[in-house]
Homo-oligomer: A and B are copies of this chain.
């Protein structure tokens, strides 16, 4: 028998909890330390089970938290319900939010008057620097989760506009090496399969961008049997993609042969009108980047309104009788069409989040406004906890080996 919504949400949260062993260890430490006791934290993240467990963790460690969604399509309604009803976490989010609802929810989070913010895409932080400026002085620091948010925040910092310290959780090794690569890689295809039930094997699958996300997607596309084509703007990455066995070409060429296009660049206008003019008939497009501007909906709608042909797929008509399909309105397909990153991935990323928040609480008064890297000792702590959770043992350097690595006398 299918679950009712609340039961489903509770089960998803419990399931996540039982597979987030690193975060559990972090929680125990935070409870013992008491560092987060009474601290007010405003959060804007993708509202699904793993994020829910981060909010629960912080709350269990004594923080007062409110949670909104950082994306109008990425909310798991069952989880939002369970957080509100069963866990007492004030959660402002639902799937298929309008833009108005989206910003109303962010405002509700800021109404908590947080001292710290945890953001994903930097919309919350941007609001604090614009319509909610009066609250700025109450903010002691923030964490930012994703590449796109970091690009925005570095631009702000460079322009002297960022007014509190922000830790770039995204740049922790234990985050970007795993979340962006293995996380996005798998969850993009969770979303693709769920949305389309189409075969990956044998498809010409174009990945736009060969950053950490893009190479995760390309790796998994290959692993599922696709013929992968990569588009890039960076020459070094382009050569890497070539050496990894992928075809590399400009998008205007790739579009002509693409059965599937997935964008993961963090930039806008990856697919525009000029690409649509040559697009292969039947091409299925989706986006795994943060914002829904990588594949231009404005360009797609030039030829008419879309028709919904599956729960999460829209069909657009193109000149010459061709059709194009867009997954989840071009919003990040791993969350809007799938269940988001696998639990174990978020276990690592959110452990970095929790420990970075602790770091801000302990050290915010030593930090000037700006974007900061996660302290290396947090990276290492999470890595060691994860190895333990995996049950994997590794070697240790002997004193002789350590000495050798710092010597230069011994030669051939």
Contact = CB atoms under 8 A, between A and B. Distances in A.
A194 B197 contact: no
A231 B395 contact: yes
Interface in A232-261: 232-236, 238-240, 242-251, 253
Nearest to A383: B235
Nearest to A172: B236
B245 A412 contact: no
Interface stretch (A7-15, A56-64, A80-88, A132-140): A7-15
A311 B193 CA distance: 18
A102 B1 CA distance: 15
B267 A198 contact: no
Given A236-B177, A250-B394, A395-B232, A343 B72 contact: no
A193 B339 contact: yes
A235 B72 contact: no
Interface in A365-412: 379-380, 383-384, 386-387, 390, 392-398, 400-401, 404-412
Contact of A240 (B177, B194, B198): B177
A12 B310 contact: yes
A101 B291 CA distance: 47
A151 B407 CA distance: 8
A11 B404 CA distance: 37
13 contacts: A11-B309, A15-B196, A49-B197, A126-B409, A126-B411, A151-B405, A155-B406, A158-B406, A178-B243, A202-B245, A232-B394, A239-B392, A253-B393
Given A238-B387, A311-B2, A248 B193 contact: no
A269 interface: yes
A153 interface: yes
A152 B228 CA distance: 40
A153 B406 CA distance: 9
Given A186-B201, A223-B223, 8 more contacts: A121-B412, A155-B405, A182-B199, A231-B394, A232-B395, A235-B386, A238-B383, A267-B404
Contact of A199 (B193, B269, B343): B343
Nearest to A245: B225
A360 interface: no
A126 B408 contact: yes
B267 A392 contact: no
A107 interface: no
Given A198-B344, A202-B390, A268 B400 contact: yes
A352 interface: no
- Which are the 5 A-B pairs with shortest beta-carbon distances? A223-B223, A199-B342, A152-B408, A235-B383, A190-B193
Given A14-B309, A269-B398, A412-B71, A339 B96 contact: no
Contacts of A309: 11, 14-15, 18
A19 B15 CA distance: 36
Given A190-B194, A201-B186, A379 B236 contact: yes
Contacts of A345: 199
A194 B195 CA distance: 12
